[in-house]
Amino acid sequence: MKLRNQTQLSEFLLLGFSEDPTLQPLIFGLFLSMYLVTVSGNLLIILAILSESHLHTPMYFFLSNLSFSDICFISTTIPKMLVNIQTQSRAISYAGCITQMYIFILFTVLDNFLLAVMAYDRLVAICHPLHYTVIMTPEVCVLLVLVCWVISVLHSFLQSLLVLRLNFCTHMEIPHFFCELNHVIQLACSDTFFNDFIMYFTIILLGGGPLAGILYSYSKIISSICSISSASGKYKTFSTCASHLSVVFLFYGTGLGVYLSSSITYNSHSTAVASVMYTVVTPMLNPFSYSLRNADMKKALKRLLVHKL
C-alpha cells in the first residue's frame, strides 16, 4: 500500500456518530446544549469561588482549577464537531488534528492529577485537621497544581511527537468525533509498536498512579470516619468529600468503562458514543455535583446570581 508522508498529508476525516442527514440537526442541538451547560456551569463555579473570600481555601482553589480544565477539555472537541455538522464537512486538517489530540491529552491527564490532588487535600483535612493549615499552605497548593500542569504538558508533548514520526495510509477516516490518540495511531502504515507501548505504559503510569493515590486517600478517610463515635459527626465529615467522590466515580467509571468495553469488543461506533460519557457528560455534571452537594457553593452561587441579576 502506498505511504503518504506526514508533510504531504493535508487532512483527516472525522466520521462522527451518524451519516444520516436527518439526525444531524438533532445531534447539533443536543451537543450545543450540553456544551453551553458545561461551560456556563463551570464558569459559574469559578466566578463564585473568586467572588467569595471564605472560599479562598485549598479545596476550592483545586476545584476552580478543575472547572477551568473541564471548560478547556470539552472545548477541545465539541466546537469542531459542531462546525463540521453546520458546514456539512467531516474534514479536520492534519495540523488541527494533532493540535486537538495534544490539547485533549493534556486536559485529560490534568483532570486525572487534579482529582488525585483533591483527594490528598481531603485526606489531610479529615485525617490531620490540626496540621491542615501548616501542610496545605498557599505555596504548596500552587506547587501541586504547577506539577500537575508540567506533567500533563510534557506527556501530551511526548505523545504528539511520537505521532508526528508516523507515516499514514491513503485511508484517513477516523471513526470518532474527534482525533483520539489510539484511533489516529491505528491509521498509520508505519510500525506503531513503540507508539502503542508508550501509550499503554503511560495510561497505566499516569492513570493508575493517581487512581491508586485516590483509593489510598479514601481508604484512610473512611477509616478515620469510622472511628468517629456519633452518627452526625460521621455524616458531617463524609459530606465534605462526597462531592469529590461522586466526580471521581463519574470520571474513572465512564473512562474505564469506555476503554475496557472497546478492548473486549471493538466497535468504533459504540466506542464513539460511549466516549461521550467522559468527554462531555462528566464535565457537564461536575458543577452540579459540587453545587448540589455543597452548602457553601450553593450560597456562593445564589449570591453571585442575585448580584448579577
70 within some domain: yes
For residue 299, the model assigns a pLDDT of 83
272 within some domain: yes
Number of domains in the chain: 1
Q: Please report, for the domain that includes residue 71, its CATH number.
A: 1.20.1070.10
3 within some domain: no
- One DSSP character per residue, 131-156 reads GHHHHS-HHHHHHHHHHHHHHHHHHH
Enter the DSSP assignment of 204. Answer: I
How many CB atoms lie under 10 A from the CB of residue 78? 23
Answer for the pair 176, 81: CB distance below 8 angstroms, yes or no. no
For residue 265, the model assigns a pLDDT of 52
CA distance 7 to 189: 15
Answer for the pair 106, 156: CB distance below 8 angstroms, yes or no. yes
171 within some domain: yes
1 within some domain: no
Provide block-wise average pLDDT over 10 residues at a time, the chain (309 residues). Answer: 49 82 89 95 93 90 95 95 90 93 96 95 92 95 97 97 89 86 89 92 91 93 85 75 82 73 57 77 85 77 75
CA distance 306 to 217: 37
Answer for the pair 159, 108: CB distance below 8 angstroms, yes or no. no
140 within some domain: yes
4 within some domain: no
Residue that the C-alpha cell 442527514 belongs to:
21
83 within some domain: yes
Query: Residue 26 sits in which domain range?
Result: 11-308
For residue 8, the model assigns a pLDDT of 54
Enter the DSSP assignment of 14. Answer: E
